[in-house]
Structure 1
Amino acid sequence: MTEKLLELCAVSKSFGPVQVLREVDFTVRAGEVIALVGDNGAGKSTTVKCIAGIHPVDSGVIRFRGERVHLNDPRAASRLGIEVVYQDLALADNLDIVQNMFLGRERGSSWRLDEASMEEAARRTLASLSVRTVTAVRTPVSALSGGQRQTVAIAKSVLWDSQVVLLDEPTAALGVAQTKQVLELVRRLAHQGRGVVLISHNLSDVFEVADRIAVLFLGRLVAEVKTRDVTQSQVVELITSGRSGGMGLPTMATDVA
């Protein structure tokens, strides 16, 4: 059993009278990819934002490496080594790859940036991930393909010694070849010992790279299963009904790994 990096224990979150998360238990382990799936409105985005420190939880406990933590803002999450790559990637088209990777965390003084150090760090990070699709780190982001942009956004999260990386729909709107490159990169993140959370509607991608699958249904985590133990049809049934009669899965989350 691999080390537990991040744990959500009975986490609940409401917005006014609407309860979005209901006592969610969720675990991210080192060296594994766990897919978080569910229909629209199931609570995936809220779960991610609670982990990222954007939304404080109403109740429950969040632990990082076994210690209880309070993620009151995104900086608190970043300091622990939790990085999120959102679907919009948050990249600036008018800046090059190096500038984007260090945006808001530039090296140097207030009057002179350490361009050489940042450029070398960007190259080293991309090389550590065996990235071959991005060769010139001074290329403007506006000149990159969708897959290259996703690669830069993921590399940016790795640059800051992240231990847990959350990827929100990383293959959305990508072609077949670009999707393959991004999924290979996702596996490399896990092979380096990071805990990776993949949020995706594409079950083909999920079954290709995920070690475990966690299913949200109407704010509850109804199942957490090893990918090899289920079929896509059973996961679809869990997403749409909160249960799979063929598997006899429980309606509340269990730790089966």
Structure 2
Amino acid sequence: MASITDPKMSDRFASAMEEIHNKHLKMYLDITDTTAELSQSHRQFVKTTLDACLKKCKDDEKLFEKIQEFKKDLEQKNKVLKEKQHVISEVMSEVQQKEMQKNNIILNIEKLKEEQTKRKELIKSQNEANKNRLRNLQKARLMFQDHLGLEIRAVMDKTQVVKSKKLQFVFRNISPSDQNDAYVITMGIKEDGSYQIVSSDPVLDCLPVLESRLQETNNLPAFLANVRKEFISKARC
């Protein structure tokens, strides 16, 4: 074992201590460098993470704003849709009313057509009846005018709101005292084509009975013959 008094021993100890110190110093420097690198890397990671978080926050804010805009736009579109649905409902209701009105108009047109057909048939029937009455009048005129001095006059009644044409049958050769003395009966035709006795001069009490018989038989010559008989009977009283 070397003696501590050996002068070289002190140098070796100092050299060994310096070597240990240098190793420790190198280790410390390595740790310091590593710590610095880690610290720098950590700061860079934190900065990168912070930037990413800030960007994410900004993106989220923009996304939230877009969501709010979409919600407002959706609410507005729903409002417009409801208004359009209301308008469509009103239009459909109006269309249904128009359809009902159209159906009513079609029914009314059909009724009018039926009524028109009935009127045409009635007019045709009345025309036929009037033709028959005209033939009867012509027969009566020939019989009474040529043989018994009957005069037939057309009279326009201006006292009514609607002017109507009537016929006057003027009988002569009735009164024994005056053959030219006139006995008059005035007649018209109703809307249904039947005869109507308006008046007689002089007045015949039995005229309603004769008129009723005329309505039943539609025999004008027989009616005029009976009227003439009544006038003769009244003239001789």
Would the TM-score normalized by the shorter structure come out above 0.5? no
Q: Please give the TM-score of this superposition, normalised by the length of structure 1.
A: 0.19
Q: Please give the TM-score of this superposition, normalised by the length of structure 2.
A: 0.20
Relative to its length, the structure with more strand (as a share) is 1
Larger radius of gyration: 2
Relative to its length, the structure with more helix (as a share) is 2
Structure with larger RCO (C-alpha < 8 A, sep 6+) = 1
